[in-house]
Amino acid sequence: MLLRKLKGITPKYGKDCFFAENATLIGDVILGDQCSVWYNAVVRGDVHSIRMGNQVNIQDGAIIHATYKKAPTTIGNRVSIGHNAIVHGCTIHDDVLVGMGSVVMDDCIVERFSIIAAGAVVTQGTHVESGSIYAGIPARKIKTLDANLIQNEIERIAKGYVLYSQWYQEE
């Protein structure tokens, strides 16, 4: 893992975290417990702060960034950021799935128990309401989540990545 201090600030993280050998964390970044940052993922807190709760997984190739002097990035607990997703200068609440290859742009708010579908582009300033699936370009609400999707997608993936990261820590 590349853990880089920048402007006197070193990334910090909690207990039982996993970082792939080529994951990158730079500057003003704080992660909670049981987080994972996977292969080729970048968490770059160079222009503003990035804060993440517990059990957040940043999957392969994902980019977490912010906007200089304007928009930090805040990610809650039990959030999964899918492969090659971009999360930029926004707020993502607890229990959210950001699908593979999707983009969440500046000043967006993604409320709890929401899914951003694979490939979706959530444009600047969008407010994703709790319990929704947003898809498309630009992303729009396409469905209301039911308990089955919350348990079998959002919770399953977040718990799965805690388990997968334990495999790597045992080696």
Interval 78-93: pLDDT, tens: 999 999 999 999 999 9
The pLDDT-based confidence of 1 (bands split at 50, 70, 90) is confident
What was the pLDDT predicted at 57? 98
Instruction: Tell whether the model's pLDDT for residue 27 goes beyond 80.
Output: yes
Predicted TM-score of the model (pTM): 0.97
pLDDT at 134: 98
What is the pLDDT, as a whole number, of residue 117?
98
Measured distance between the N- and C-terminal CA atoms of the chain, rounded to whole angstroms: 16
Domain ranges of the chain: 2-170
Q: How far apart are CA 47 and CA 154, in angstroms?
A: 30
Give the pLDDT confidence score for residue 111 in this predicted structure.
Answer: 98
Q: What is the CATH number of domain 2-170?
A: 2.160.10.10
Average pLDDT over residues 14-38: 98
Q: Name the CA radius of gyration of the chain, rounded.
A: 15
Length of the chain: 171
Q: What is the pLDDT of residue 72?
A: 98
DSSP string computed for 11-27: -EE-TT-EE-TT-EEEE
pLDDT recorded at residue 171: 72
Q: How far apart are CA 101 and CA 105, in angstroms?
A: 13
How confident is the prediction for the chain on average, in pLDDT? 97
For the chain, give the percent of residues with pLDDT over 90.
94
pLDDT of the residue at 121: 98
